Structure 1
Amino acid sequence: MELKDVVSIGGIGGLHKIIGQRPTGLIVESLDKDKKRFPTNLSQKISVLEDIAIYTVEGEERLGKVLLAIHELENGGATVPGKKDDEAAIRSFTEKALPNYDKERVYISDLRKLYQWYHILKSELDWSSLSDDKVEDAGEEKKDAKKAAPKKTATKAAGAKKTVAPKSANVKSKTNTPRKTGGA
């Protein structure tokens, strides 16, 4: 499973996997133990995890890169905090995972939700796809820096005329209907 397949729904706790689409919303399955499926509607706030970012001092960092950094720290032997851990432990671990995160704009509730999501996703997510995306992003930045050629624009031929339907001579633009005037 990839981050583009996972959504967070406002007002409903946890994370959900996209199963299908319908005209009035999505069909999702919860990622917890009961795997409950249900439809969403257009009035619900749905956020795809791939589109979420965390504020840093320089700008923003994509959630995929942050989750990958947390996963690498956990594989290195560090213990990922839970949502019930104290604020100091959560902030110190976040300093290790994302050293340049903005401490003023990223609240402790955001970090608790981040680590709650990580614990849900660590068994479900395809970590190799996240690391591949990280490598592709670095490659795209290098290509964009090297290749900044202007795009070709389409030019219209000078002799080309636009065809217009001929106007009919029998069409009246105004109708002359007699007016009724008050009187005898």
Structure 2
Amino acid sequence: MALDKILSIGGKPGLFKLLTQTRTGFVGESLLDGKRVTVGMRSNVSVLSEIAIYTLEEEVPLREVFQKIKDKEDGKKTSVGHKAEKIELEEYFFEILPDYDEDRVYASDIKKVIQWYNILIENKLDDFSNTEDESSVESNEEE
């Protein structure tokens, strides 16, 4: 399942899989406990495929950050927990993304990235490649 079907809902812990859209919002299923929730249009919802991390030069898509973590950890959960001390989180993230913007990426952001990565790995949602972009790039090159 692609990251464009995985959601973060403000005020609710963990991540959710998009099941279906309704007239007033959508239905999601928690990746933590499998419970279904109905979410209205007014809720603060982020699609993981739309999130990026600030670096000193550009914004790096979250899927690329997840792929770097996966490469570092050999497809396993992170060696640092999301509840680790701030300095430990920053050191770990610096290994993953050496040029991340320390002024705009907070420890709370790093905690979320690590927690989300671990949730995705637990649920065997570890394909962080972006097949849509790659295929559209290939078709553009052929023209």
If the length of structure 2 is used for normalisation, what is the TM-score?
Answer: 0.87
Structure 1 equivalent of residue 4 of structure 2: 4
1:131 aligns to 2:124 (yes or no): no
Q: Give the total of aligned pairs.
A: 142
Structure 1 equivalent of residue 137 of structure 2: 140
Residues 48-96 of structure 1 show CA distances to partners (whole Å, capped at 9, x for unaligned) of 0000000010120000000010011001889531121112221111111
CA distance in 2, matches of 1:41, 1:54: 27
CA distance in 2, matches of 1:79, 1:16: 20
Distance 1:77 1:51, change over 3 A: closer
Task: Return the offset for 1:99.
Answer: 1.1
CA RMSD of aligned residues (A): 2.6
Q: Identity of paired residues, percent?
A: 38
5+ residue gaps, structure 2, are none
5+ residue gaps, structure 1, are 148-184
Larger Rg: 1
Residues 14-62 of structure 1 show CA distances to partners (whole Å, capped at 9, x for unaligned) of 1100011101101000001x31012111110111000000001012000
1:97 aligns to 2:96 (yes or no): yes
User: Which structure is higher in helix share?
Assistant: 2
User: Which structure is higher in strand share?
Assistant: 2
If the length of structure 1 is used for normalisation, what is the TM-score?
Answer: 0.69
Task: Return the offset for 1:123.
Answer: 2.8
